[in-house]
Amino acid sequence: MIPVYKHTNIKNLSIEAQKLLVHCMVCPRKCGVNRIKEELGQCQTGKDAMVCSYGTHFGEERELVGLHGSGTIFFSYCNLHCVFCQNYDISQRGEGYKVSAEQLAKMMLDLQNQGCHNINLVSPTHIVPQFLQAFLIAKEKGLNLPIVYNSGGYDSVETLQLLDGVIDIYMPDTKYSSNDLGEKYSGVKDYWTVNQLVLKEMYRQVGDLVINKQGLAEQGLLVRHLVLPNQIAGSFEVLKFIAEEISKNTYVNIMDQYRPCYLGDRFTELSRRITQQEYNEVVNFAHKLGLGLRNLLCNHE
């Protein structure tokens, strides 16, 4: 399917987004650094995006993977500093290399040529301006795959508005339903406050997930929620919010694969995997809310 763009002039969007880099307001951290001059804020990323790797990926949700895989681009660094990050080499230590807009566009086109079903931007929050520049080039050269925005869920609503009509599938995390725990474990004071606004804006733009006859996601919202031990993720409140304030038809991937990576085992309450009972309680609650009888993706190993 060729996406229908509400904004016909992506160039203008890209120019607007570039302005955000001068006194960086790209994400809710609002560091105010001049990234055009290579000043670095919390995401350690200057003028150019950095990529750790890109390629066909079969480890994502089945609606993204299909037969030929999701065309995944892993961006280096992150605007969150989660103590239990599974990809900390990339997100916190910045494994990767700088790419120009032309190089990033070429990666997207390479993935399309390899037969991938979509372009999956992993951790794109801090490089939205750079992505838009590359997207413009790639569109002119024939890119026509759905674009997946796969973020930690701590995005700026104003920046997301620049992506209205560009992103087809939003796939944010909802990590916690507590600002205090967001500060303790991810280093931002207002995670839950921001995350709720983010989900609403994403849903406003793309609505419920639409799956085509081949079983592939074409457009919509898919929320990922990683269950943490000792109810740290506030799963019940997260699911209640999604069911009551977003949509009961929301695709929610309730994930069980938590393990104490990176600095996780420095926190006693995070130093173990979740139990089957903890996971079942969350899934049962989702069902009780009327979520997911059709849409719930329960990835229990």
* Chain positions contacting ligand SF4, by CB under 6 A: 24, 26-27, 29-31, 33, 41-43, 79, 126
148 neighbors 171 (Cβ within 8 angstroms)? yes
Strands 297-299 and 210-211: unpaired
R_g of the chain computed on alpha carbons: 18
Report the greatest alpha carbon distance in the chain. 52
Select the residue whose beta carbon is closest to ligand SF4 and give its number.
41
Taking the least distance from each CB to ligand SF4, the nearer of 197 and 298 is 197
Nearest distance, CB of residue 185 and ligand SF4, angstroms: 17
Nearest distance, CB of residue 273 and ligand SF4, angstroms: 30
Nearest distance, CB of residue 58 and ligand SF4, angstroms: 30
Rounded-to-10 torsion of CA 198, 224, 4, 244: -60
Q: Cα separation of 222 and 208, whole Å? A: 8
Taking the least distance from each CB to ligand SF4, the nearer of 79 and 150 is 79
Question: Which runs of E-coded beta strand occur in the chain?
Answer: 49-57, 70-75, 97-99, 119-122, 147-150, 169-170, 210-211, 217-226, 251-255, 297-299
Taking the least distance from each CB to ligand SF4, the nearer of 31 and 227 is 31
Scanning the structure block, which residue is given the tokens 């609606």?
Answer: 63
Taking the least distance from each CB to ligand SF4, the nearer of 79 and 92 is 79
User: Which pair of tokens denotes residue 225?
Assistant: 């929620």
User: Which pair of tokens denotes residue 272?
Assistant: 């173990």
Taking the least distance from each CB to ligand SF4, the nearer of 39 and 89 is 39
Q: Which residues pair with 45 in a beta bridge?
A: none
Q: Cα separation of 119 and 64, whole Å? A: 9
Q: Which residues pair with 251 in a beta bridge?
A: 222
Nearest distance, CB of residue 85 and ligand SF4, angstroms: 15
Taking the least distance from each CB to ligand SF4, the nearer of 43 and 52 is 43
Nearest distance, CB of residue 194 and ligand SF4, angstroms: 12
Strands 147-150 and 169-170: parallel
Nearest distance, CB of residue 187 and ligand SF4, angstroms: 10
Nearest distance, CB of residue 90 and ligand SF4, angstroms: 15
Taking the least distance from each CB to ligand SF4, the nearer of 34 and 249 is 34
83: nearest Cα among 212, 260, 234, 274? 260
